[in-house]
Structure 1
Amino acid sequence: MISTVERRFWARETSTEWWDHIIMEVWDDEQWLQNFRMRKATFMELCEELAPTLRRKDTRLRAALPVEKRVAIAIWKLATPDSYRSVGNQFGVGKSTIGIVLMQVCRDINRILLRRTMTLGNVQDIVDGFAQMGFPNCGGAINGTHIPILAPPHLASEYINRKGYFSMILQALVDHCGHFIDINTGWPGKVHDAPIFRNTGLFWKMQAGTFSPDRKITVGDVEMPIVILGDPAYPLMPWLMKLYTGKLDRSKDWFNYRLSRCRMTVECAFG
């Protein structure tokens, strides 16, 4: 004899009052900036851009999450150190939903918006900005940072960085204001910055002279192209400057000071 058990669909009771009425109706731009790192108008514009791919249909079991709520969940998680459980409680959804929504929104931003919004910007403004900080004909500062991750199920040892935790490396080039103008991510934490850099599109574009305009200045009797600034981990190139090492005279020490001052923009951007 086979007995059957009648099953019922259920879900824990949650509240969306905080999102529906407090955030969407009460918060002003200052509160949006503090918590979402953007104003409400910018947020709504982002939702409009992503709506065609993020919108889902209602089912017989439950209503689909609105696009605005999906984007808000992802931005909140990216902008704060809150756990999945904490974010889920805030927005009235399960913690597994937080993980799914976060990946969907990040994927669509990367696929739809990244190449449209990540641009070199006004090169002359960038060069002028770095010149005011002390370094001439500079088009950006480059560095890498480690993003902590959970131990991957395969090749885990490749992701342990020199500080002893699992990470993935983000390499970024920023302008004089700390705005990101080129990014590359995905390399395991164990890999050194130099080989990562040599395998990026930025390296090959700089090598070919196609990343920035061909604007040279003369320093002494040497023609200097637009350069980027890196730390000692990066290779010295005609278009990549890094610090002098060893015994320094006054001019080299002054060069190092100016380079370090400008390169701090990328450190501050990561911070």
Structure 2
Amino acid sequence: MAAPRELFALLEFLRQYFVESGQKELVIQRNRTLTMLHACISVYLCSPRDAVPKVDFFAEDIVPAMSAFDFKSHFRIERMTYEIILERIRPHLVFNHIGGKAPVTPEKQLLLFLWYMANQESMRELCVLFKVSISTVHAIITRVSKIIYRVLKTVIQWPDENRQVEIEREFQLQSGIPHIVGIIDGTHIQLSHVPNGDQDYVNRKSYPSVQLQLVVDHEMLITSAQTGWPGCTHDARVLRNSGIYDKANAGNLVNPERHIIGDSAYPLRTWLVTPYRDNGHLTGRQKRFNRMLSSCRQNVERAIGHLKGRFRRLREISLYTMEGVCYFIMAACALHNLCIINHDDIDQFLDNANDLNGNPNRYPNVFRNAIGGDAKRQRLLQLIP
């Protein structure tokens, strides 16, 4: 429907047109008709809308009365984790009241955000449930996303020396391959629309998405996360344009003995070990080596499954700015780590979401392997019985 100002201008133009043309009697009749139409539309557009029925005191009374089981079923985190998050971000959710409606409380803002993150309900449904306008719902989601990431982003950090020693020990016990300090992989986060009509965001499976690149450790803790690249982008290109690539090439990520593990979509480097390409002529030892790498890579696949299983909104994000989308994804990554750190149940939320829409651009590596990387992989191969 046209905006009232534009509609009134159109009616005025039509009235003047009829006055300046045609027979006098016909002009008078049409002019009266347009005047009546103008008055009717004015009354319709200016009359207040019927109030939409909404739930009273859901966040204030109903949620606090929920059992621990019900709270976790709805919000996908334990109440203790919610309280930890609230304590960290509360100062950033308080605003000075300068008149008008009372501001939404920090508790209600966080509950609304977590409900949206944990479920796949629309913003319109949330405005009914939490008794706020749809514009307020959108403002809360975008604001809380930024605050959570900015306040909690320190939970996503590259492991220090002591932590790397622990990680490589655990991975060696799991796979038999020494000096692994992380597993890298990418996944696609589906969008509800194509941003600005840019077809680069449409991936090979013909739906719009953004790439999310993760490095995780043996506990599924995210140690590096990067998002924002369009869905058509190759995994290797995302890596080459990420911060860890430059640091690793400069020798500032891991020492020469250590490395991270990736699949065949990534280029072989001294710090990034990938499987041997199966051309039908692999030796038995090379096949065993590939299976050992695959057993390690299950950690990152489980981490992605947990991320999308716990925070189901990541299966399709309906925000309309790429900045908002990226902050929302990074906030989910921070919350994922916070849940692991606080031993918030993990297995309950593992699912096959990554298999459903995880990485449709699973192409072979498009960049040349480094000579030093091949030599390092050969040295590791010699350790395989």
Same fold (TM over 0.5): yes
1:119 positional shift: 2.2
**Does the CA contact (< 8 Å) of 1:127 and 1:136 recur in 2?**
yes
2:232 maps to which of 174, 190, 212: 190
Counterpart amino acid of residue 75 in structure 1: L
Instruction: Name the residue aligned to 1:106.
Output: 145
Q: 1 CA distance for matches of 2:172 and 2:70?
A: 35
Counterpart amino acid of residue 161 in structure 1: N
**Closer/same/farther in 2, CA of residues 205 and 31 from structure 1, 3 Å limit:** farther
Higher relative contact order (CA 8 A, sep 6+): 2
**Closer/same/farther in 2, CA of residues 89 and 12 from structure 1, 3 Å limit:** closer
Cα offsets for 1:173-211 (capped at 9, x unmatched):
111121211100011111111111011111112222222
Instruction: Name the residue aligned to 1:219.
Output: none
The reply on whether 1:199 has 2:241 as its aligned counterpart is yes
| Partner secondary structure for residue 137 of structure 2 | helix
The reply on whether 1:129 has 2:170 as its aligned counterpart is yes
Q: 2 CA distance for matches of 1:187 and 1:109?
A: 21
Q: 2 CA distance for matches of 1:199 and 1:126?
A: 25
Instruction: Name the residue aligned to 2:58.
Output: 18
Q: TM-score, normalised by structure 1?
A: 0.85
Cα offsets for 1:146-168 (capped at 9, x unmatched):
111111124x1111111111111
Q: 2 CA distance for matches of 1:259 and 1:31?
A: 39
1:166 maps to which of 208, 231, 234: 208
Matches within 5 A, 1:19-34: 19-28=59-68, 30-34=69-73
**Does the CA contact (< 8 Å) of 2:94 and 2:106 recur in 1?**
yes
Counterpart amino acid of residue 155 in structure 2: T
1:138 maps to which of 164, 169, 180: 180
Cα offsets for 1:199-251 (capped at 9, x unmatched):
11111122222224x3x6xxxxxxxx211111111110011111101221110
**Closer/same/farther in 2, CA of residues 61 and 185 from structure 1, 3 Å limit:** same
Q: TM-score, normalised by structure 2?
A: 0.61
Specify the structure having the higher radius of gyration (Cα): 2
Instruction: Name the residue aligned to 1:79.
Output: 118
The reply on whether 1:153 has 2:196 as its aligned counterpart is yes
Instruction: Name the residue aligned to 2:131.
Output: 92
1:83 positional shift: 2.0
Q: 2 CA distance for matches of 1:141 and 1:161?
A: 24
1:34 positional shift: 3.1
Which one is further off, 104-113 or 91-100? 91-100
Superposed CA RMSD: 2.4
Counterpart amino acid of residue 169 in structure 2: D
2:262 maps to which of 230, 233, 238: 230
Which one is further off, 60-69 or 167-176? 60-69
1:8 positional shift: 7.3
| Partner secondary structure for residue 153 of structure 1 | helix
1:32 positional shift: 3.3
Q: Which has the higher helix share?
A: 2
Q: 2 CA distance for matches of 1:203 and 1:184?
A: 12
